[in-house]
Amino acid sequence: MDCRRSGDVPLYFDGELDPAATREFERHLDDCDECRATLVGLDALRRDVRAAMPRVGAPAALRERLLALAAPARRRHWPAIAAAAAVAFAVGAVATSVWRTREATRDALARDLFASHWRSLAATSPVDVVSSDRHTVKPWFAGKVAQAPLVRDFAADGYALVGGRVDYVGDARVPVLVYRHGQHLIDVFVLGDADAAAVAPTSRRGYTLDPLVLGHQPAAVVSDLDAEELARFAAQLAAAEP
């Protein structure tokens, strides 16, 4: 890698940067395709490893041993207590690792969604297909993404359909619906099932991200609209019938 900040990518991915350094590096990611691509690659590798790892429960012998240690009527020997403590420490370490991985996934997904929205605002047009007709917008996605999204127009409620585009979130192509409310643009990202659990409400630089389900598909809305107003719009989207 040629970028002088490339050494910070694994530190950011593992959550080892302090809060100030994290915010500064996220600003760098907004402008550096090289570091962003490396981060996407690390995330994809982690997903592949997690998918390949079998899920196993605790052995019956281990469960019985822990129950025996907990029984008040039995004499507790220091070697057994030490072994139980080691097991507890290992379980705690695994839980911490899983939590950090989940947080890193959420951060990476949120960063991609915000970056996509900001890029669209800087582009000549925020959409690839310009239309307020849902019967025009929905068919346009055919062949461009795995599944065309549910498209509804809420112009009567003040949320006019502007059109749609295809963008990348991580390494996946996703459909994006664009609505306008006054001077505010709202991006509706329709995500894959793998990202459903990774979307969490968050805000950055005056922009808000909210998860929802759109026609049985996991989705997320991003806008600089007031958080309460955006939540109301997200509720309208979620209530739309397929």
**Whether residue 134 sits in one domain with residue 38:** no
C-beta separation of 29 from 113 below 8 A: no
Asked, for residue 100, whether it belongs to a domain, the answer is no
pLDDT recorded at residue 158: 94
**Whether residue 231 sits in one domain with residue 134:** yes
pLDDT recorded at residue 229: 92
C-beta separation of 28 from 56 below 8 A: no
Asked, for residue 45, whether it belongs to a domain, the answer is yes
Q: CATH number of the domain that 142 lies in?
A: 3.30.200
Asked, for residue 28, whether it belongs to a domain, the answer is yes
CA dist., res. 222 & res. 206, Å (int): 11
Asked, for residue 182, whether it belongs to a domain, the answer is yes
**Whether residue 47 sits in one domain with residue 130:** no
For residue 137, give its domain range: 125-239
Asked, for residue 21, whether it belongs to a domain, the answer is yes
Q: What is the CA radius of gyration of the chain?
A: 23
The gap from C-alpha 224 to its chain's centroid, in whole angstroms, comes to 18
**Whether residue 229 sits in one domain with residue 142:** yes
Helix axes 33-52, 19-31, angle to 10 degrees: 110
Asked, for residue 184, whether it belongs to a domain, the answer is yes
**Whether residue 233 sits in one domain with residue 145:** yes
pLDDT recorded at residue 93: 43
pLDDT recorded at residue 58: 58
pLDDT recorded at residue 88: 47
Number of domains in the chain: 2
Contacts (Cβ under 8 Å, ≥6 apart) of 127: 120, 162, 163, 164, 165, 178
Nearest to 222 by CA among 126, 149, 114, 105: 114
Asked, for residue 185, whether it belongs to a domain, the answer is yes
Asked, for residue 119, whether it belongs to a domain, the answer is no
Tokens representing 161 are 């359909």
Tens of pLDDT along the chain (242 residues) come to: 578 888 888 888 777 888 788 888 888 888 888 888 887 777 667 666 655 555 555 566 766 766 666 555 444 454 555 555 554 444 444 434 433 444 555 677 888 899 888 988 888 889 999 999 999 999 999 989 888 899 999 999 999 999 999 998 877 889 999 999 999 999 999 987 655 556 788 888 889 999 888 888 889 999 999 989 999 999 999 888 76
pLDDT recorded at residue 29: 82
